[in-house]
Structure 1
Amino acid sequence: MDTFQVIVLALIQGLTEFLPISSSAHLILPAQLLGWEDQGLTFDVAVNTGSLLAVVIYFRRELWSMFNAWTGSIVKREQNEESKLAWWIILATIPAVIVGFTAKGFIETHLRNIEVIAFTTIVFGLLLWWADRMNREGFNEFQVGWKKALVIGIAQAMALIPGTSRSGATITAALMLGLSREAAARFSFLMSVPVSLGAAILVVKDLFESGVNIDYQALVLGTIVSFVAAYLCIHYFLKIISRMGMTPFVIYRLVLGAVLCVVIFS
């Protein structure tokens, strides 16, 4: 990839990772629509690491407090709302880990295509609209409980399918379960940390074992650009969803899905 392609793809990742519109789909589409060579999962995970750094730094106080509370729950057997939230996030990560290990090859081989993206973009966009419209309860993330956490975790595992959107699927599930928009978004963002970290570690391991030549310059540049874009996206997304809701993102998904259908059948 040249520098322009790296920057464009990193911006796409950073701006779409935490919006409910599917970053993986947007990273695949340039290769499908513009004739660019597919950048592959290695670059995808590199720019995803930039997004991971963004969410870790943005929520650094919450994450540090949760970590201290979680270790305290193990060492001192003391539980509080932050330690419980940490355990729920760990529980919610398990379905994605299982599906990732068992279906990784199938997803890479059969589901990274425009037809799948068009279908999931439309269907999960409509689910997001329905969940946002029906949401009434307004629980916060400290009221999730292990059952709701597991359901949201299953939704996160489904988001391994391109076009589904990890944040979109988890926010949709959280809204259906009664969380407020802001709490659903925060829980979704916090859930991204262990999944993104695990994916990055696995890909780095595979790269070193494969002996493939790596364009480190492209990976570093992509990570930096993705970090900046993702940090700004998190900040402004949390500010606007209480007023705007999910409707703008639903409309975007439906328009994108319709455009992709035209491309497929033209």
Structure 2
Amino acid sequence: MYQNIIEVLILSAIQGVSEFLPISSSAHLILVSSLYEFKSSSLLIDISLHLGSLFAIIYFFRMDLLDARNNKRLLSLIIVGSIPLIIIGYILYSTGIIYQLRNIKIIAWTTLIFGIILFIADRNRFDKKISVNLNLQSILFISLFQILSLVPGVSRAGITITAARILKFNRLDSSKISFLLSIPALGGASFLGLKDVFDQSVEFNYLVIIAVVSSFIFSFMTVKFFLIYINKFSMNAFVIYRILIALILFAIIY
């Protein structure tokens, strides 16, 4: 019992922290679960972790989401920008291709390559803002990049921030765009997962509640402190982390 709770808390921390940082949550969850063979790791727990992150980001941006009248344009752009990911994600999911992408070799290379791309995109100082410069063309550009996050190791947060930085949005607003786009992404992933859960008649238990609550806490704190951090510092720390992870994985593989 206690071992299962500890495992769920570890997975919750990984999900909550890595989902919103440019380091790939799916890669970390796959690697940790594979290396340590967590007994509590399952489809239901995985969905619970994503739901916790979804509830956290909705709660964090609740004022923006509830103020639909003043933010109608922004919310419309976020919905439009999420359509390509949802369509391609469903195709990869329904055909089973998504599962073929989940191997350590792919994760190692994507972690390295997209970490370097993030570094290049983040080098210069830009000042575009969501309130003024986010339009249909820019959100579609970012949404096409977001499709790449279906490959483990790319990082949904990382690739959307990279795309926004390429379009010359400042770091803070690039991160906010990424966080807002995570709402439909997490919602879609949770919906597909729950569909499988109900098809398999999986039994709900206390670990599900622990996973949702702990993932919510870790996710909320990550978003809060990341926005404070990114307003003062560059993405270099995350780039270095990705490179180190990639080198470790290369050492294991080769």
TM-score bracket for the superposition, by shorter chain length = over 0.9
Q: Deviations over 1:162-208 (max 9, x none)?
A: 11111001000000011100000001101111221122122212211
Equivalence for 2:24: 22
Mapped contact 1:129–1:247 kept (Cα < 8 A): yes
The change in CA–CA distance for 1:148 and 1:111 in structure 2 (over 3 A counts) is: same
Asked if the contact 1:107/1:161 (under 8 Å) is kept, the reply is: no
* Corresponding position of 1:123: 113
Structure 1 residue runs of 5 or longer lacking an equivalent are 70-81
Question: Are the equivalent residues in 2 in contact too, given 1:20–1:168 (CA < 8 A)?
Answer: yes
- 1:62 is aligned to 64
Aligned to 1:7: 9
Give runs of aligned pairs for residues 81-230 of structure 1, distance below 5 A: 82-104=71-93, 105-134=95-124, 136-142=125-131, 143-211=133-201, 213-230=202-219
Match of 2:247 in 1: 258
* Cα deviation 1:202-239 (Å, max 9, x = unaligned): 2212211232x334322221111111011111111000
Q: TM-score, normalised by structure 1?
A: 0.89
Which runs of at least 4 in structure 1 moved beyond 6 Å after TM superposition?
none
For structure 2, which runs of at least 5 residues remain unmatched after alignment? none
Q: Tell me which residue corresponds to 1:234.
A: 223
Between the two proteins, the alignment pairs up a number of residues equal to 250
CA contact (8 A) 1:22 1:167 kept: yes
Query: Distance in 2 between the 1:38 and 1:5 partners?
Result: 7
Aligned-residue offset at 1:137 = 3.0
For residue 194 of structure 1, what is the amino acid of its counterpart? P
Superposed displacement of residue 156, structure 1? 1.5
Which region of structure 1 is more displaced relative to structure 2, 103-112 or 148-157? 103-112
TM-score of the pair, normalised by structure 2: 0.93
CA RMSD across the alignment: 1.7
